[in-house]
Amino acid sequence: MDLALDFHTGGEARHNHPQVRYHKQNNIAAAISSHFGVKYLIEQPLLAHSFRKAASDMNVPAVVYEGGESIRLDKFSILSGINAIKNVLSALQMTEGHEPLPVNEQYIIHKDNWVRASAPGMFIWFRKSGDFVEKGEKLGEIKDPYGTKSIDVISTYTGHIIGHNNASVVSLGDALFHIGYEYSRVK
């Protein structure tokens, strides 16, 4: 069986809690994603010109692992990625002697969206990737350079933060918190 696995980080200053993304209509990719041993399994449609779309066009199931942030080493995300490779190889009976690490909780994210900056300024986050938040909860603040104005960043969803922005300065409309708001618990 052919299988495509892609491992990478979040983009720019965005940090992703270790997660996998797959096309929910591909049963093999969905099954393989559960073996990665990460907290979040994200169902996503195929995007034009993407790795998963190219693999799908060749009838190859594809799963994308995302963890950490570009240009920054994150030990937790790196170790999660290494364990994910070992777990998948073990599940496919391609290696011996590897016992998958237990996952305390695992969620399938059915729908997700970003909470965006309503103003430019200096960004301070109070919540981070991996946290569960309630709709209406304060996630952070955006302050003007003089410290005279402060705008609260409020969650528009109840769900799991699967990614957050680490930039110290943000512009109007920048993505701040990626929240999975429709989900089901697997474990």
Predicted confidence at residue 160, as pLDDT, reads 98
Predicted confidence at residue 82, as pLDDT, reads 93
Q: What is the pLDDT of residues 85-123, one digit of tens each?
A: 999 998 888 888 777 777 778 999 999 999 999 999 999
Predicted confidence at residue 45, as pLDDT, reads 87
Domains defined along the chain, listed by start: 4-91 (no CATH), 111-180 (2.40.50.100)
Task: Compare 173 and 71 and report the one with higher pLDDT.
Answer: 173
Predicted confidence at residue 187, as pLDDT, reads 67
Predicted confidence at residue 149, as pLDDT, reads 92
* Gap between the Cα atoms of 129 and 98, Å rounded: 28
Region 121-150: what's the mean pLDDT? Answer: 95
Region 58-71: what's the mean pLDDT? Answer: 92
In 27-165, the DSSP E strands lie at 40-43, 62-69, 107-116, 121-125, 132-133, 138-143, 150-154, 159-165
Bridge-based pairing of strands 62-69 and 4-10 is parallel
Ramachandran class of 7: left when φ > 0, alpha when ψ lies in -120 to 50, beta otherwise: beta
SS (H, E, C) 84-106: HHHHHHHHCCCCCCCCCCCCCCC
Does the pLDDT of residue 47 top 90, yes or no? no
Residue 3's Cβ-count burial label (10 Å; 0-12, 13-18, 19+) is: middle
Res. 72 pLDDT band, cuts 50 70 90? confident
Q: Between the CA of residue 119 and those of 54, 136, 151, 173, what are the distances in Å?
A: 37, 18, 8, 7
Predicted confidence at residue 162, as pLDDT, reads 97
- Contacts for 100-104 with beta carbons within 8 Å, 24 or more apart? 100/35, 100/37, 101/37, 103/37, 103/38, 103/39, 103/187, 104/187
Q: Between the CA of residue 175 and those of 12, 75, 117, what are the distances in Å?
A: 11, 24, 7
Q: Tell me the pLDDT of the chain averaged across its residues.
A: 92
Predicted confidence at residue 126, as pLDDT, reads 96
Residue 69 structure tokens: 């942030």
Does the pLDDT of residue 57 top 90, yes or no? no
Q: What is the pLDDT of residues 148-173, one digit of tens each?
A: 899 999 999 999 999 999 999 999 99
Predicted confidence at residue 171, as pLDDT, reads 96
